[in-house]
Amino acid sequence: MPSPSRLASAHVAASYPLAPLTWEVGFTKDPSVPPAELVPAVVPGAVQLDWARAKGLPDYTVADNFRQFRFAEDVYWVYRTRLDLPKAGPGERLYFFCGGVDYRFRVYLNGELFHDQEGMFTPFEIDLTDRAKQGDELSIVIFPAPKATPTPEDRTQARLSNKPPVSYGWDWHPRLIPCGIWQETGIQLRPARHFRAVDFRYRLSDDLTAADLDVRIETSDPGAGGASYRLLDPDGSEVVSSATPEARLAGIRLWWPSGEGKPELYTLEVLLDGAVVHTRKVGFRRVRLVMHEGAWDEPARFPKSRSRPPVTLEVNGRTIFARGSNWVCPEIFPGIIDEGVYRPLLELAKGAHFNLLRTWGGAIINKEAFYEICDELGLMVWTEFHLACNLYEGEPNYLRVLEQEAESTIRRVRQHPSLAFWCGGNELFNVWSGMTDQSLPLRLLNKLTYELDRDTPFLPTAPVDGMGHGDYRFRDEHGREPHQIFASASNTAYSEFGCPGPSDVAYLKTFIPEAELFPPRKGTAWQTHHGFGAWNMDPGSWLCEATIAHYFGPASSLEELVERGQLLQCEGYKFIFEEARRQKPVCSMALNWCFNEPWPSAANNNIVSWPHRPKPAYHAVKAACRPALASARAPRFGWMSGEEFRADLFVLNDSPERVAAGTVEARLVLAGRSVALVQWSFPDLEPGRNTKGPTLSFVLPRFEGNTFRLELGVAGRAELDSSYTFACTNVAERRKPAPGERFLNG
């Protein structure tokens, strides 16, 4: 094999035109035997999608059609193309550039091995100038999906590889393991001396008004000189021009998260011999993870141990409560993800008053477009590496590939102001993973983030001590609702919690056969799309028919079932988000599980259905995440007539602005009748502070219907108003508990 190809930077791909190639793809069980058939391939994309197009296979998102691709994970896939090379002039060179192949692959030129790589997040390139001619054959052979063991066919098969484990099957993702060229790929004509990468680093002054810049420009000929850069402020005016890495910029306009200020972006232009060869947006901010107020006072007694680790976000010197969600892969096949996929989802996230997204470690490291849009919208990104719910033991080859993949990721992502902090992965310290802070992969990631991005915080995993994951149901096996579970908790952060709800009826009809729609049954598309049997702690997940029936009785139609299930999801999420905010300053964040999904779910904890269709819960969460609002804490969702309904009143303020004093008027609405309960005059609220008011009470009468509302209105300030729905059963209609079941309200 010729000398190994230099691992490439994504920057160079964006700096010179990338001419696409015409590809074909086919599979073989033996890599020494050519594929029996080749079909047209779309790059970037996925071999499964190419095969489905060529063979007329049915839509993989409908029913259980995804099973048609089970064979694809155990064969070798071969991409082939004939090189269509532009004519290189004097002083020009031809490169084959590939942004990423999923997952283990080899590259051949006219049958000769030129590149051998494991890992999908590291781009590569091959200098073709003196090696290839017009019409030569270039092929990429992709190995079968890595599997630690033949069985069980679940996420544990990914534990010895750096391939995201989600595609091996999850409670919201079918077992469908993507494969293929998933990033931009093609031929580049570059000057012999060309730009390769830029590293934009800076150190803010203590008062955050100035920055010492350190801008390193990499070229193909480091000793030749001629590289420089200039920086344009958010208005387009040049504020720095330098031919040396170091410079100082005064009068900084800071990048702020959404709701805290403007996400100010500067334009960095890289010049080579006076010509602009690369442009990107950059921003200035300081992000820290700090201890919450009073954290050093705990534990209070001897013998003392360490206090809980810091997870409170401090941005530009200001403590910020993180309101947001867990971001998962927006498509099963990462090769089809682009700005058009990312943008509508991220705009929904901003519209929900979110300021932080946790990019969950079981999925891919997101593409550049994701971070660029987050930079623009002011969405902070908690970036996890590609480890989740597995025991990654640190076998030598695994560590070698992890280092390669992590370094590529850090060098690319660290230049985005939206990056809030790094995290080793999801739930690695839990019993099902069995890792600790002594595990070699986590020690390696800590080392790499320190060496390559020292000023960005690092967490080994989530949760760490003090943080909370779960619950993910509206009603657990003990009859507890979110109202009891979270009001009695005291966590530094709720980085995962869920309330499941069904998708809307019109959407369900697009992927569940009509004959299976109602009543929902196991063994049908309802189960395939996670309505049943998706989570081992609740055989009814995620539809939870028994929970719905507990409050409202059996549903007589699909429309009734969906409406009731969506109500539970709305009210559950509303309560948890607001309760987390009420627990400031100990609690620092509320991130629900989850925001989006990669394919249609019949029922799930997500608030946006695939591809970008908001569920009613999205609007409930949006209301609960307003920077300031009147809020009520009730002890439960389910009530009976004759009981004394109670609720504590609050005004919550996460904003950087004062909230002026006002008056909250509380009333109940029962069967169309409005009952005034209490008026509460609250004082001015300082930025980021809450205030608690009185406890209201009212004996519930018998009334027609099975729900009632608590409405909070702030005179003259409708933006602070809130509304909560509760279930109520007339005493005479109260059903008897099932065997082993108990009711919290008697």
The pLDDT tens digits of the residues spanning 374-429 come to: 999 999 999 999 999 999 999 999 999 999 999 999 999 999 999 999 999 999 99
Of the candidates 666, 537, 627, 626, the one whose C-alpha atom is nearest the C-alpha of residue 171 is 537
The pLDDT tens digits of the residues spanning 43-95 come to: 999 999 999 999 999 999 999 999 999 999 999 999 999 999 999 999 899 99
Q: Is residue 343 part of a domain?
A: no
Mean pLDDT to the nearest integer, 574-581: 98
Among candidate residues 285, 310, 342, the one where a domain is terminated: 285
Residues 245 and 125 placed together within one structural domain of the fold? no
Q: Is residue 369 part of a domain?
A: no
| More confident call, 407 vs 743 | 407
Structure confidence at residue 745 (pLDDT): 37
Q: Is residue 565 part of a domain?
A: no
Residues 43 and 172 placed together within one structural domain of the fold? yes
Q: Is residue 246 part of a domain?
A: yes
Structure confidence at residue 7 (pLDDT): 57
Residues 173 and 31 placed together within one structural domain of the fold? yes
Q: Is residue 441 part of a domain?
A: no
Instruction: Name the pLDDT band for 732 (thresholds 50, 70, 90).
Output: low
Structure confidence at residue 746 (pLDDT): 30
On the question of pLDDT at 225 being above 90, the answer is no
Among candidate residues 218, 250, 285, the one where a domain is terminated: 285
Residues 277 and 139 placed together within one structural domain of the fold? no
Give Cα 317 to chain centroid, integer Å: 25
Residues 168 and 248 placed together within one structural domain of the fold? no
Q: Is residue 464 part of a domain?
A: no
Q: Which of 365-374, 483-492, 521-530, 736-745 has the lowest mean pLDDT?
A: 736-745
Q: d(Cα 306, Cα 464) in Å, to the nearest integer?
A: 13
> Three-state SS string across 116-164, please?
EEECCCCCEEEECCCCCCCCCEEEEEECCCCCCCCCCCCHHHHCCCCCC
Residues 687 and 721 placed together within one structural domain of the fold? yes
Sequence-distant (6+) residues with CB within 8 A of 145 are: 73, 74, 103, 157, 163, 177, 179
Mean pLDDT to the nearest integer, 431-443: 97
Number of domains in the chain: 3
The pLDDT tens digits of the residues spanning 290-301 come to: 999 999 998 888
Mean pLDDT to the nearest integer, 116-128: 97
Residues 217 and 185 placed together within one structural domain of the fold? no
CA trace torsion 153, 159, 161, 162 (10° rounding): 110
Q: What percentage of the chain carries pLDDT values higher than 70?
A: 97
Q: Is residue 710 part of a domain?
A: yes
Give residue 47's domain range. 10-191
Q: d(Cα 678, Cα 634) in Å, to the nearest integer?
A: 15
Residue 452's Cβ-count burial label (10 Å; 0-12, 13-18, 19+) is middle
Instruction: Name the pLDDT band for 6 (thresholds 50, 70, 90).
Output: very low
Q: What integer best gives the mean pLDDT of the chain?
A: 95
Residues 147 and 261 placed together within one structural domain of the fold? no
Of the candidates 433, 459, 365, the one whose C-alpha atom is nearest the C-alpha of residue 159 is 433
Instruction: Name the pLDDT band for 741 (thresholds 50, 70, 90).
Output: very low
On the question of pLDDT at 604 being above 50, the answer is yes
Token pair of 159, please?
A: 């534990």
Task: Collapse the DSSP code of 252 into the 3-class scheme (helix H, G, I; strand E, B; otherwise coil) and give the result.
Answer: coil
Q: Which of 428-442, 538-552, 642-656 has the lowest mean pLDDT?
A: 538-552
Identify the helix (H) or strand (E) that includes residue 217.
Answer: strand 210-219
Contact 709, 647 (CB under 8 A): no
Residues 20 and 169 placed together within one structural domain of the fold? yes
Token pair of 308, please?
A: 């809980």
Tokens 């700096």 sit on residue: 15
Mean pLDDT to the nearest integer, 651-665: 97
What is this structure's pTM? 0.96
Residues 660 and 686 placed together within one structural domain of the fold? yes
The pLDDT tens digits of the residues spanning 477-500 come to: 999 999 999 999 999 999 999 999
CATH number at residue 703: 2.60.40.10
Contact 282, 240 (CB under 8 A): no
Structure confidence at residue 744 (pLDDT): 37
Q: What percentage of the chain carries pLDDT values higher than 90?
A: 92
Among candidate residues 191, 217, 234, the one where a domain is terminated: 191
On the question of pLDDT at 284 being above 70, the answer is yes
Structure confidence at residue 306 (pLDDT): 87
C-alpha dist (Å) from residue 98 to 80, 195, 499: 14, 17, 41
Residues 131 and 219 placed together within one structural domain of the fold? no
Mean pLDDT to the nearest integer, 152-179: 97
Residues 152 and 265 placed together within one structural domain of the fold? no
Instruction: Name the pLDDT band for 4 (thresholds 50, 70, 90).
Output: very low
The pLDDT tens digits of the residues spanning 232-270 come to: 999 999 999 999 999 999 999 999 999 999 999 999 999
Angle at the Cα of 420 from the Cα atoms of 291 and 458, rounded to 5 degrees: 60
CATH number at residue 104: 2.60.120.260
The pLDDT tens digits of the residues spanning 702-724 come to: 999 999 999 999 999 999 999 99
Q: Is residue 257 part of a domain?
A: yes
On the question of pLDDT at 10 being above 90, the answer is no
Structure confidence at residue 8 (pLDDT): 65
